[in-house]
Amino acid sequence: MRLLRRAEALEITVLLIITVLILSYPDVHDPFILIVSFLSAFTGVFFHEIFHKYFALRRGRRGVRIMPSIPGILLGIITALRSEGTLVLMQPAYVMWEEEYPFKVVFSKAEEKEEEKQKKLTEYLKQDAEISLAGPAANGVVSVFLLASLLIIKLMYGSFYDFLVSALVNESDLQFLTPLVLYALLSFNSMLSFINLVPIPLPPIMVTDGAIFLVNAIELHKRGRLKDAPWTLFLLSLIGAILYILFLLGTFEEVLQAYDVLLEEA
């Protein structure tokens, strides 16, 4: 199972570069900002789309391909410009494939029992819901890992301020920048979980993963099979989305405040 073909890898590379430039605005000439933006784009966009494609291929989808989302990229550009880079919302890409299986079920050979047809269609709906949530769930898992890393730092040193002071004493640039990098990556990954989980059904402009999941969940509910929906993936996606809401509420501002205090003391 080959996840990326050469042409597709090139397209994703270009997509990551665009994402890095959007996330780096207005400090696109700052090497550190560019590096952090690249790490955010890689852990966020790349993991998100690769997990979509992996699940799609595992579920037997054909012609699976990662595509750039022009509306999602434009959203990123607009929000970056309007907020001066402080609040970026974007959906850089999506995964598409040949939608053929439902038609095979409906128009399958006549001797196949209706019960068997419905069973196959239910399985297809379940798989479609899984594929739709694979991306935001991946971002949710990454977000939890990043949050855990920040919490470990705080537990070990008592505060982020003390951690930064320790970094200065040890003359370690890497240690000094670690909380800031974790903070930035957590912000972007949780944002991707959030914006993709919000059900926005606006074809052909933008259809989020949450909208696709909701449609399939409703169909499963009609068939009395709602329990078959991928609730574990939904929970992981929801955790990521909740973390972003906490970001917007300023829950993690302690990280930035530690840097501000040190700058004032310098």
Q: What residue ranges do the domains of the chain occupy?
A: 6-265
C-alpha span between 145 and 122 (Å, rounded): 34
C-alpha span between 65 and 156 (Å, rounded): 44
Asked if 220 and 226 count as a contact pair (C-beta separation under 8 A), the reply is yes
Q: Going residue by residue through the chain (266 aa), what tens digit of pLDDT does each one get?
A: 678 888 888 989 999 999 999 999 999 999 999 999 999 999 999 999 999 999 999 998 888 899 999 999 999 999 999 999 999 999 999 998 876 555 555 555 555 577 787 888 889 899 999 999 999 999 999 999 999 999 999 999 999 999 999 999 999 999 999 999 999 999 999 999 999 999 876 655 678 999 999 999 999 999 999 999 999 999 999 999 999 999 999 999 999 999 999 988 86
User: Which candidate, 99, 122, 132, places its Cα nearest to that of 233?
Assistant: 132
C-alpha span between 43 and 242 (Å, rounded): 18
- Listed in sequence order, the residues at least 6 apart from 136 whose beta carbon sits closer than 8 Å to its beta carbon are 48, 192, 193, 196, 197, 209, 210, 236, 237, 240, 241
pTM for the whole structure? 0.92
